[in-house]
Chains A and B, each alone.
Chain A
């Protein structure tokens, strides 16, 4: 996830300020979507209107929260800048009317919500929350509950909302979650509290700290809920601060999160559920994120502008709301402004396709998705949507292609199952025929033994080749090693049966297997992005641990009465990992024909490869150094520890040397520029 964000920020910084762009959007921010799990630029989804600091003559002062009511009414909770009072501004852009409510009793209203002709206001300054009627008169006052369940927090309500049953949720101390009240001010308990995750650091601290230190440290509070929203189905959504991946939540009635991991930054301030259940959030640095109902990122756009001069960017954002025409209303606390963003033709297309798709109308969503892809061919969600449309129309080949572009594995697996099924059904006759022919040949061979006509020349050929090439002979000696490691090790140690060159060649062959494997492993089982495979990284991954182990094990062996010379350790180590490498090409080939349903096969083969290698590895050390079981175990463990120390040591030396180098260069530079 860190990589994702650093890429996002890098893209921003690279493109902001670039002139003469072949792409002209007319807005001062880039709009991003996800492709292959990475941010990519997309068509502008929303364009900003000029921002306003007053609505029909009523100043927004410091606007804290915004909510949309019925009939186009917009409500803003605002704190006056010139006095210790606050107000609710209700305006209507259609009828061009504006009113202020509650100015006589509100102090610092930071939250407002409207449902069924009732206005709910959280007044942080007054330490109270209110339920008002449409003319602004107080119907119910929510105050600090006496219940011990509430805890010892002060009552400073920040945000408020009400569900269809009339329950009222107040955000007070976000670490405790949402305080749930009945409509007439009876405290029911907390809802939607975040979980506490112990990091490695806290675990270490727990182990090593004294009780006193622990007492100081462990005010381990859950991440703070920073805002909330409710959708049409009555499900409460929250955003939290300081949480990676799960900062956007949709809670069921038990308070469990119904959304999976969501792409966002850890500074979300507000959330709003728009039409068709789309989720909108705004972050502290002015980015607006739009997700579909399932939490998939559609668009991220916006940003921060401390100069207060650029349209569409924020200084200090505070809240957002979205109306039925997907128009976004967002507040900037520092600038005291309301920014309105209008959807573009592109986002309208996405919304149309999504609404069909989300209602299960896959087939009908085909055309809109195609239109979306015309606007952006690097839009994962659209490829997935179109893939699903094709899938429902039983056009599996096309579905497969779309899922492949989007790297959508589960869809790909399903579509591949269908494609494979079709293929198998079509060719069932041929396969049955081939199977029977092979069976017949096998049975006849049991009787007549005629296969040696084929196998003998092959064996003879190999023998001839081994005689011709010593290196080949030594490489093929690995099979002998696998059959009888003890004897083979003896031969290697005592009779120099295998040369270093041959072992090195074998290692290179294994690396070849490995490269084939990482490139050719079926898309469903390949965690890597093939385009991002880095040669150097892979070389390090394969060779470094092996060579480090050889070195460490040899060193440890030499002080722990091991017999193995460096050469022996090198050769036998390479020989011992053979099972792991030898299954790799087979895995790659096998994976191409499997779906997730048969994933266990891949795991099984891989497990065999690794398991057998581990056994050989153990016996390799034992035989090479002529150790007992106990000595072998100790030798392996100490070797691993030595590897770690070697790495650490070289790392420290590297850092010191590079610091020294920089210092020298800086000295020269300074002399050069100063003189």
Chain B
């Protein structure tokens, strides 16, 4: 009521444009009272978006077009140049004359020089040297031939790499080897490696950028003991030196992260490295992955001068076995900021021969089964920003806008789990069907009318150890009839889903250990042990079995208008072994088909599922908190806002107070809570005791209060498209939407004045510009 009165007062006061919609202050748990200097440090930490360096790029630092660069394609905005001598490419924006190159000319990067001065690089495995992996070999340091063939809007290069010289003596002797004066054996003695790998690279100009493609069929490994490990394309694309260029690199880690171009003073020893779509559980590997969020989208990008120049790279194919590498300056003692992807054709893993996995030998396995196809979209002006990158990503994924009628709330009702008892396990009831109904009614009575619901632990035996479950309702919670009446009731406020899991299979699930659970590529069953758990063993389900189990229930789900909700399927993609190798791509296709039925919702969805989804759960609001990152940005959510409703992880377990709610408003993510009727302490002997606070009685008021706060802030911009998101001062975000509405979000615990408006401490101010 007070809020409406306040709005009315403001309406009369500001009858003319702009029209302010101010929100009342929250009464959520108070933010800790930090001294101002600590709060300033907090707001300037990598957990917030920072103020942009708006300097223009010095034309001195522009890449120049040289005589050797020959135009091979052009359109209204862009020219594509090819340098046949060095086999490199440049693309020029004709309006701004800004140039991006596939490489760095005359780099000063020590051992990295050869890779950086080439448009193509490779890693290879020497089988005869105990699977030694030779990394970052640039085309320029190999002995190779390139066949150039013009194609529509570009060229096709047929690259044949003959050998690689690890020593200067080898390079000196090579001409005499070619002329037949030296034998191959003599060359081996001076460090020559006979690589004999060939592949084609097609580089074409697109309307808004460049496309690079390596057809899968063109890849050939002709040497007996050499295997191609990975290909690197355009390693120097968008590279900058030290802090000479203002701007940043964008990494889709979690919610999204930026690494700004600044002098790191050699702070980093190793590059940022992460596979797209998360780690591969099926390939036991020593490769270090320090991220805790997957790269859900197959993109990366950089901005040179904010709102000036930039690019977004989108991996259309080959993404399933690609990884992103980012070298902030100083990494490996080289002065460049680099961001590029490596496409793994094969990977090395360790094959153990003992039951305890103690000894073993290296082996390799093919991981790429399709073309590598990657586009670089050039961004200029307003688009040269992570918001522009997000829009480009959305277009590339082919996502379409869907309007929402109201700000939704997501509630997951926790119904049951099991704890160990004298004989086996006994059910721990957390919410009966009747209790769920009455809890839901209480939210309706409080005026929340759009509620998306999920039920957790609805199945026989409860949640842990029993998923994937077929449609088998736990009858001590309610009869089948009562359950189905409940679904109908919940459906009146929004969609209803039942939590199920088609990736991780518990020991009491409906999946069979022999038939449905897969092995890793080393042919050991992929299982996880939990010694102190009620259900100690978890396996991984094959995609095929997942689909079979899911489709068994599909008809019933359709009849009842109920979905399944899978907390793992959206972000887990593994190579598997079951009779034969099952690649990530094969599994991804099966998962796509499952999601396409419209009856399977997932959490933290990866890019390959997005076109088939109509909502997303557990959408990240953080990045992996790595030392490299300078900013947290809402990249993922900007891509998906307006396409589908995004729901947060359960806010019960987020102790950060008001800032957390502000961030949801800032990122355009709707709140989600996990609620139970019974006290949470009943869960303490179950396998889900990490849900340490769920009780309705404790949470009801704050869920309603938080929702009201979020609803009042988000309703005015519902279905609007974000066009700009700036940080005018630390801790203050200014968002501009396509209809001109401006929203200020103040993360500071003191009021701020900006653009002649005062924004309360920890509050949101929405200014609607009237026509």
Residues of A within 8 A of B (CB): 6-7, 10, 14-28, 35-36, 40-45, 47-51, 53, 72, 93-94, 96, 305, 307-312, 325-327, 340, 342-349, 371, 373-379, 383, 405, 515, 519, 531-535, 662, 665-666, 669-670, 673-674
Contacts and interface: CB of A to CB of B under 8 A. Distances in A.
A20 B603 contact: yes
Nearest to B568: A20
Interface string B535-574: 0000000000000000000000000000000011011100
B56 interface: no
A377 B567 contact: no
B188 interface: no
Contacts of B625: 26-28, 48, 310-312
B580 to A, nearest CB: 15
Contacts of A344: 32, 655-657
B656 A47 contact: yes
B278 to A, nearest CB: 6
B353 A669 contact: yes
Interface residues of B, number: 82
29 contacts: A7-B532, A19-B292, A20-B571, A22-B618, A22-B649, A23-B650, A24-B648, A25-B653, A48-B625, A49-B41, A49-B42, A309-B627, A309-B628, A311-B46, A311-B626, A325-B34, A327-B38, A343-B32, A344-B32, A348-B30, A373-B693, A373-B698, A374-B698, A375-B29, A376-B693, A377-B679, A378-B692, A669-B355, A673-B351
Most central of B272, B423, B618, B621 by chain A CB within 10 Å: B618
B353 to A, nearest CB: 4
Interface in B37-89: 37-38, 41-42, 45-47
A50 B45 CA distance: 6
Given A50-B46, A346-B29, 16 more contacts: A6-B531, A14-B528, A21-B618, A23-B690, A25-B655, A43-B692, A44-B656, A47-B656, A49-B41, A307-B290, A309-B272, A326-B32, A327-B34, A662-B356, A666-B353, A673-B523
A28 B624 contact: yes
A56 to B, nearest CB: 12
Interface in B172-210: none
B649 A23 contact: yes
B38 to A, nearest CB: 6
B480 interface: no
Given A19-B572, A28-B625, A309-B290, A345 B523 contact: no
B530 A10 contact: yes
A21 B674 CA distance: 13
B31 interface: yes
B693 A40 contact: no
B647 to A, nearest CB: 11
B604 A20 contact: yes
Contact of A377 (B34, B604, B698): B698
B293 interface: yes
Given A24-B654, A49-B42, A378 B680 contact: yes
Contacts of B356: 662
A327 B702 CA distance: 27
Nearest to B46: A50
Closest 8 CB pairs of A and B: A346-B655, A43-B655, A345-B657, A377-B680, A24-B649, A531-B685, A26-B622, A670-B353
Nearest to A402: B681
Interface in B332-368: 351, 353-356
Interface in B7-52: 29-38, 41-42, 45-47
B674 to A, nearest CB: 7
A20 B278 CA distance: 10
Contacts of B618: 20-22, 24
B40 to A, nearest CB: 9
Nearest to A72: B35
Given A43-B655, A371-B29, A673-B353, A325 B35 contact: yes
Interface string B583-611: 00000000000000000000110000000
Contacts of B30: 345, 348
Contact of B684 (A40, A326, A345, A535): A40
Contact of B38 (A340, A379, A531): A340
Contacts of B699: 374
B29 A24 contact: no
B32 A26 contact: no
B716 to A, nearest CB: 26
A53 B694 CA distance: 41
A363 B527 CA distance: 50
A311 B254 CA distance: 15
A234 B34 CA distance: 27
Contact of A40 (B567, B626, B692): B692
Contacts of B292: 16-19, 28
B270 interface: yes
A230 B669 CA distance: 47
Contacts of A15: 690
Contacts of A383: 681
Contacts of A93: 35, 37-38, 41
B627 A308 contact: yes
Contacts of A308: 269, 627
Contacts of B5: none
Nearest to B672: A22
A342 B38 contact: yes
B288 interface: yes
A325 B33 contact: yes
Given A377-B680, A532-B420, A51 B627 contact: yes
A82 B269 CA distance: 19
Interface in B602-649: 603-604, 618, 620-622, 624-628, 648-649
A345 B655 contact: yes
Contacts of B604: 19-20
A287 to B, nearest CB: 17
B692 A377 contact: yes
B422 interface: yes
B29 to A, nearest CB: 4
Interface in B697-735: 698-699, 702
B401 interface: no
B419 A535 contact: no
A35 B690 contact: no
B626 A309 contact: yes
Contacts of B622: 24, 26
B380 interface: no
Nearest to B356: A662
Given A40-B689, A345-B657, A405 B674 contact: no
Contact of B530 (A14, A41, A43, A44): A14
A308 B272 CA distance: 12
Contacts of B654: 24-26, 43
B267 interface: yes
Given A19-B572, A376-B693, A345 B653 contact: no
Contacts of A44: 655-656
A376 B36 CA distance: 29
Interface string B248-260: 0000000000000
